[in-house]
Structure 1
Amino acid sequence: MDPKLYKAAMTGDLHFLESLNEDDNSNFLCQVTPKKNTVLHVAAEFKQSEFVQAVTQRCPLLFHQANSNGDTPLHVAARVGYSEIVHIFISQAQTLHVDVESGQVERHKELLRKVNEDKETALHCATRNGHYLSVKLLIEADPEFSNFTNDAQEPLLYLAAARGFYDIAELILNASPSSSSHVGPNGTTAFHAATYNRNQDFMKIILKTRPNIIREQDNLGWTPLHYAAYWGFAELVRLFLDHDSFVAYVLDNDGESALHIAARIGQINAIEEMIKCCPDVCDLTDNKGQTALHAAVLGRQEKVVKYILETPGLKGLINKPDKDGNTPLHLSAISKNYKIIDILAMDERVDIKATNKKYLRAVTLFPRHQESGFKAAKARYLLKHHGIQGVQLLINTGFKVKQPPVEEMLLGSVNTKSMDNGEKLNFEKRSALETNMLVAMLVATVTFTAAFTMPGGYKSEGPDQGLANLTTKAAFKAFIFFNTTAFCFSVVAVYLQFQHFSRELPSSNSIHACYCKHHSNRHFRDGISICFWHARSASKIYRACYHCICIGWLLNINIHCRFVC
């Protein structure tokens, strides 16, 4: 395109047009840009209405010419939303007529309905950009114009609602109250789109003209109520159910109602509205036979689980199994949701012993995860000991039983008949460890005491005051040898028992194990204290008997054994 012509169209320079000879009009004005935009496209884009009027009078054929995207000058004018230019083009189109007897569509309507490469009309362009006046002019020129859809399968009513232009949507709806298409991409309707924007005024208008639109489902099987429940729009849930309560019972492709969706996402306000309007909606199950409580457990929604347990009208969901026989407690164990396990297991109405169709209880399913830690141990304990029922059973059978005979209390007898093989083995190991440690501690105590009650007493005068009187006697040396040896090995035995006890801690599947592992560093501190205790006693023995050569040798053995251990 000639630069002067392009600049004149951009600035609306009418003097430039007047300076052209009439012979130059046809060829000069028909120049195009690299994108095949004509001078009318350029003038419309820059909103030069007087220039557009002058060009259409000089060269009417430019009105029909499309650019490389298929856009006519009317598309451009509608997109920029300059209603004055839109009116000029509509008037220009209406000056063209066709013989009515031929049965063809009127020529001006054909021009108004011309589509671009995206199958969009000028009305689509005006609607997409929210230009109310341009939309109004185009609809008045052709009321049936509103039934066209583009390549994206977006009818005008849906497009306006999805964009939030409800004044335009109402304009389109009034032009064809019942005939205009409202179904958009993936089966979503204009009502679905309005649900997202929460425009109740438009919803009430469209429900008056199309009352059944509220039941229409998209490709997922979701109604507008499903989406309102998903987003937690309680006021819309109330509006929808007041208009048509049947929609609460509509199931999606997975058999889930809006109540299932709200429970899975955690929208308690939406759940309350649905239960208030339709109390029996809680009986609905999905394709797997799962209730809203199952959905809440799978969605890890602790507050929803608590709400359902606290709502009297929903108590029938507590132990209801799905098609696999899994109760909500089973699903909480399978999904390793410790908090929900805690909530369910602590409710006395929950059947902890319930089995699914594979004859598995919740506690049987949980250990398969091989989880460790305090939360896992607590969950496993609650599942195993039946929550409140287990505590009640423990009180009835444990705390309130008759006191055992005194002999049994003194002997500390334990009934191992009810234990399995693993528990019996652990019990026997712990008993042996306790016995060995007791004996070793007794020997260490006796030998330690003997070091300060030397046979023959101590010297009370002279430079050797405080030393043993019998340090030169062979029998005394034998006493010191055996006493020190016994003390040394008894202390070593005590230390080894501590080490063995650390290795024999309970497995990570119990609360006791978590406690023991949490405090396992105490065994290390106990070992250090034994070392210092041993060194202290050895130094005292050496102080009393340092003249005896064998004592030094024994002390070296003593200290060497201590460090080796």
Structure 2
Amino acid sequence: MEKRLLDAAMEGDIKSLHGLLQEDPLILHRSMVSCVSETPLHVSSMLGHVNFVQELLSLNPELASELDSHGCSALHLAAAKGHVEIVKELVKVDPGTCTVRNEDGKTPLHLAAIKGKVEVARVLVRACPESARAVTERDETALHLCVGNNRLVGLKSLIEEIWKNDDQLLNWKDCDGNTVLHLAVAKKQIEIIKFLLTSRGLDINATNKNGFTALDTLRQSPRDLRDMEIECILKDAGVLSAKDLHIITPDWHPSPTKVPRITKSMVSNVSTERSISGKPLMVHKHTDWLGRKRSALMVVASLIATVAFQSAITPPGGVWQADEHFDKAGNPLKYPLKAGTAVMAYSQKTEYGQFMIFNTLAFLASLSIILLLVSGLPIRRRRWMWLQMVIMWIAITAQVLTYFISLRYMSPESAKGMLHDVTQISVLTWLCLMLVVFIGNVVRMNLWILRKYGYIKEKEQEQEPPPAEVNDDDEDI
């Protein structure tokens, strides 16, 4: 009987259901207490048999609150599958199932958010506004799940519905203290970020448990080509870093009778004046100059290496597609053509040699940068960063020369006169720019050396007594 009932539920056969009820009027009640994990309502709700679901609920409304072996109600299954009409029928009979969590800690609204079932989410929030406040085991709301699964349309719909009842849910934080904006920035979801920044009531400068705002989260995440665009979007909307918000959580409080213990890590990170013996101790503001330079060099070096590699395997003019040993007259060629070899190497040997030299130089220089950055060697000082910058200048210059050689080869004879003039002007301009950059960095390096060895003193050091020396082993001052 139970098997026949499940078969009827799978087919949505109301006539078979009535026939079974005539044979055993208690069959629906027996299905609730049997060892079968899924009731007929679970099966028909999952498969979308609206009429069968309506008939079951009219005969036994208690089926709506039954859970399967995974802790899911029929509403969970209908919501995950996006059966809007069935969801309406189920919440009409038992609205309380909207807040029931399965063994994974998710409510029907959570499943609808994950799957992007927009209309189902609307029905659930309207039927039970409390379901919008239900969270997962990681304290994630349905909004977090929409962002986590890149469901922009579902997010817009949910925010529109939730705003009517709770304008603070948009700033809810998960177990790590992340709001939906933190999560969208971490996942580099540009369209969702733009939408969230236009939403009313969003705290754009909320911080997580690490003290990071959304802007700090971007800077701490792995570098990406979208980072610059996202940073511009955040800054234009007024998003600040925790540093700019002056959020300071001191780890210790100075005593008026005891000099505090100061370590190298404190000296490098503290940017305010501490009072020692009644006189201010001037500590220079720490900047992550080296970290930013390393990230920028890695991105640019990867890009140049990719372009140079592609240029090497697909040179200007392409490659021969088949072997050729004889010309059109049937005479043997002095230099037989081989499939896969560059056309340019046969037609313009000198230009091909120049092209490969500069392209190889750009490729190896950029790979050298990447190797140095990932080598793990102690090359975090400024002098090593300057060396890497010089290598990067070489790679960029070689890439520019490769571009002009390719351009000249691919241009027809009628355009080469004008192209020659344009090339001369462009190369001259580029060399002037490189010279200005080189001179500027030489000046900076000389000033740094002079300051390091005491030939130039900074204003703060001239006006105030020098700070106490910090031992390498973090000894007390």
1:67-124: CA deviations, max 9, x gaps? 121111111111111011101111212xxxxxxxxxxxxxx4x332222222222111
2:196 is aligned, of 203, 216, 222, to: 203
**How far off its partner does 1:170 sit?**
2.4
Contact 1:130–1:168 (Cα < 8 Å) also in 2 = yes
Which residue does the alignment assign to 1:104?
none
Cα displacement string for residues 422-474 of structure 1 (whole angstroms, at most 9, x for unaligned residues)? xxxxxxxxxxxxxxxxxxxxxxxxxxxxxxxxxxxxxxxxxxxxxxxxxxxxx
**Matching residue of 2:183:** 193
Question: Post-superposition shift, 1:28?
Answer: 4.9
Deviation for aligned residue 1:26: 2.5
The Cα of 1:143 is off from its aligned counterpart by 2.1
Is the alpha carbon distance of 1:24 and 1:13 closer, same or farther for their aligned partners in structure 2, counting shifts above 3 Å?
Answer: same
1:340 corresponds to: 389
Question: In the superposition, relative to structure 1, how do residues 28 and 62 fare at CA in structure 2: closer, same or farther (>3 Å)?
Answer: closer
- Contact 1:254/1:286 (<8 A) preserved: no
1:279-290 paired onto structure 2 within 5 Å: 290=286
- Number of the residue aligned with 1:113: 99
Q: Give the CA deviation at 1:138.
A: 0.8
Conservation of the 8 A alpha-carbon contact between 2:83 and 2:120:
yes
Query: Are 1:179 and 2:136 an aligned pair?
Result: no
Kindly indicate which of the two structures has a greater share of residues assigned to helix: 1
* Residues 1:341 and 1:253: Cα distance change in structure 2 (over 3 Å): farther
Conserved? CA contact 1:13–1:51, under 8 Å: yes
Q: Identify if the C-alpha distance between structure 1 residues 254 and 329 changes in structure 2 by more than 3 Å, giving closer, same or farther.
A: farther
Query: Normalising by structure 1, what TM-score?
Result: 0.45
Aligned partner letter, 1:173: I
Q: Is the 8 A contact 1:26 1:59 kept in 2?
A: no
Q: Distance in 1 between matches of 2:295 and 2:194?
A: 33
Would you say 1:238 and 2:228 are equivalent positions?
no
Rg larger in structure: 1
Q: Could you tell me how far apart the structure 2 residues matched to 1:166 and 1:42 are?
A: 30
TM-score (norm: length of structure 2): 0.52
The SS at the match of 2:68 is: coil
2:169 partner SS:
coil
1:18 aligned residue: 18
Structure 2 distance, partners of 1:241, 1:300, is: 19
Counterpart CA distance in 2 for 1:134 and 1:250 is 42
1:252–1:129 distance in 2 versus 1, CA, 3 Å: farther
CA distance in 2, matches of 1:145, 1:11: 32
In structure 1, C-alpha distance between the alignment counterparts of 2:248 and 2:297, rounded to whole Å: 20
**1:48-84 C-alpha deviation (Å, 9 max, x unpaired):** 1111111111122211111121111111111111011
Say if 2:139 and 2:174, in contact at 8 Å, map to a contact too: yes
Structure 1 residue aligned with 2:110: 124
Distance in 2 (alpha carbons) for counterparts of 1:246 and 1:28: 60
RCO higher in structure (CA 8 A, sep ≥6): 2
Structure 1 contact 154–185 (Cα < 8 Å) conserved: yes
CA drift of 1:35 comes to: 6.3
State whether residues 146 and 156 of structure 1, in contact with CA within 8 Å, keep that contact through their aligned partners in structure 2: yes
Give the superposition deviation at 1:156.
Answer: 1.2
Residue 215 of structure 1: SS of its match in structure 2? coil
Which structure 1 residue ranges, 5 or more long, are not aligned? 94-107, 256-284, 306-327, 361-565
Q: Distance in 2 between matches of 1:24 and 1:49?
A: 23
Q: Report the identity percentage.
A: 21
Contact 1:329/1:352 (8 A) holds in 2: no
2:90 corresponds to which residue?
89
- Report the Cα distance in structure 1 between the residues aligned to 2:299 and 2:69, rounded to whole angstroms: 57
How far the C-alpha of 1:24 sits from its partner, in A, is 1.9
Distance, in Å, in 2 between the alignment partners of 1:191 and 1:48 is 39
User: 8 Å contact 1:77–1:85 — kept in the other structure?
Assistant: yes
Superposed CA deviations along residues 8-37 of structure 1, whole A, max 9, x for unmatched, are: 111111111111235723345532786611
Say if 2:135 is the partner of 1:141. Answer: no
CA distance in 1, matches of 2:205, 2:194: 19
Would the alpha carbon gap of residues 348 and 22 (structure 1) be closer, same or farther in structure 2, given more than 3 Å must change?
Answer: same
- One-letter amino acid of the counterpart of residue 116, structure 1: N
| 8 Å CA contact retained: 2:205, 2:239 | no
Please list the CA deviations of residues 516-565 of structure 1 after superposition, one character each: whole Å capped at 9, or x if unmatched.
xxxxxxxxxxxxxxxxxxxxxxxxxxxxxxxxxxxxxxxxxxxxxxxxxx
Look up the SS of the partner of 1:159 in the other structure: helix
Q: Is the 8 A contact 1:66 1:73 kept in 2?
A: yes
- Alpha-carbon distance between aligned partners in 1 of 2:25 and 2:194, rounded to the nearest angstrom: 53
Separation in 1, partners of 2:38, 2:44 = 10
Distance 1:8 1:163 in 2: 35
Question: Structure 2 CA distance, aligned partners of 1:80 and 1:330?
Answer: 53
**55 and 64 in structure 1: CA distance in 2 versus 1, 3 angstrom threshold:** same
Change over 3 Å in CA distance of 1:6–1:152 after alignment to 2: same
Which AA in structure 2 matches 1:42?
A: V
The letter of the residue matching 1:339 is: Q
- Cα distance in 2, alignment partners of residues 202 and 77 from structure 1: 29
- Map 1:54-453 to 2 at 5 A: 54-93=55-94, 108=95, 110-177=96-163, 178-180=167-169, 182-195=172-185, 196-199=188-191, 200-206=193-199, 208-210=200-202, 213-228=203-218, 230-231=223-224, 232-244=226-238, 246-247=240-241, 249-250=243-244, 290-299=286-295, 301=297, 331-333=381-383, 338-340=387-389, 347-351=441-445
In structure 1, the partner of 2:50 is: 49
Paired amino acid for 1:47: G
Deviations 1:147-179 (A, max 9, x none): 110113211122112222223222322333323
Contact 1:220 1:253 in 2 (8 A): no
Q: Give the secondary structure class of the aligned counterpart of 1:244.
A: coil
What is the aligned partner in structure 1 of residue 31 from structure 2? 31
CA distance in 2, matches of 1:228, 1:187: 15
Instruction: Please provide the CA RMSD for this pair.
Output: 3.9
In structure 2, relative to structure 1, the CA distance for the partners of 1:47 and 1:330 (3 Å cut) is: closer
Return the offset for 1:225. 2.1
Count of residue pairs the alignment pairs up: 290
